[in-house]
Structure 1
Amino acid sequence: MLTVATLAAVAFVTWAIAGGGQGGGATPVAQVEAWAGALTHTAPEPEPEPDAEPTTAEAGFDLTALSTTDPASPWVVVNKQHPLTPSDWAPDDLVAVDGVQVRAAVATDLEAMLEAAAADGVEILPRDGYRSYAGQAAARAAVEQRRGFEHAERYSARPGFSEHQTGLALDVDSASNPSCDLQTCFAQTAEGRWVAEHGHEFGFLVRYTPENTETTGYAPEGWHLRWVGRDLAGWMHAEGRTSLEDVFGVPGGSTYLEQ
Structure 2
Amino acid sequence: MRAFRSSRRRATVIGLVALSLTLTSCAIPRPALTTPAAEVPTEIPVPVQTTTEPPPPPAFDKAARSIDDPNSIWVVVDRLRPLNPQDYVPPDLVDVPVAHTWDPILRQEASDAIVAMFTAAQTEAGLYLASNSAYRSYSTQVDLYSPGDPTTAPPGTSEHQTGLAMDIGAESGACSLNECFADTPEGQWLAANAYRFGFLLRFPADKADVTGYPFEPWHYRYIGVDLATEMHNTGSTTLEEFFGLPPAPAP
Report the TM-score when normalising by structure 1: 0.70
Is 1:115 the equivalent of 2:110? Answer: no
- Report 1:110-259 matches (<5 A): 110-119=114-123, 120-140=125-145, 144=146, 149-150=147-148, 152=149, 154-176=150-172, 178-255=173-250
Q: In 2 relative to 1, CA 107–179 (structure 1 residues): closer, same or farther, beyond 3 Å?
A: closer
Amino acid at match of 2:108: A
Contact 1:71-1:84 at 8 Å conserved across structures? yes
Q: Which runs of 5+ in 1 are unaligned?
A: 1-57
Question: Greater helix share, 1 or 2?
Answer: 1
Contact 1:206-1:226 at 8 Å conserved across structures? yes
What do residues 151-210 of structure 1 show as CA deviations (whole Å, max 9, x unaligned)?
x2x21111111000000101112234x241111111111111111000000000010011
Inter-partner Cα distance in structure 2 for 1:195 and 1:82: 27
Inter-partner Cα distance in structure 2 for 1:254 and 1:212: 9
Amino acid at match of 1:172: I
Contact 2:195-2:229 at 8 Å conserved across structures? yes
Secondary structure of the equivalent of 2:230? helix
Inter-partner Cα distance in structure 2 for 1:198 and 1:222: 13
Task: Let me know the Cα RMSD of the aligned residues.
Answer: 1.6
Secondary structure of the equivalent of 2:217? strand
**Residue equivalent to 1:73:** 72
What do residues 207-227 of structure 1 show as CA deviations (whole Å, max 9, x unaligned)?
001122111010000000000
**Residue equivalent to 2:91:** 92
**Residue equivalent to 1:7:** none
Inter-partner Cα distance in structure 1 for 2:178 and 2:122: 22
Larger Rg: 2
Secondary structure of the equivalent of 2:166? strand
Secondary structure of the equivalent of 1:115? helix
The runs of 4+ residues in structure 1 deviating greater than 2 Å are none
Inter-partner Cα distance in structure 2 for 1:236 and 1:72: 21
What do residues 21-66 of structure 1 show as CA deviations (whole Å, max 9, x unaligned)?
xxxxxxxxxxxxxxxxxxxxxxxxxxxxxxxxxxxxx743101110
Q: Which runs of 5+ in 2 are unaligned?
A: 1-56
Inter-partner Cα distance in structure 1 for 2:246 and 2:200: 19
Secondary structure of the equivalent of 1:70? coil
Per the TM alignment, residue 253 of structure 1 is displaced from its structure 2 partner at its CA by: 2.2
Report the TM-score when normalising by structure 2: 0.72
What do residues 219-241 of structure 1 show as CA deviations (whole Å, max 9, x unaligned)?
00000000000000011001110
Percentage of identical aligned residues: 42
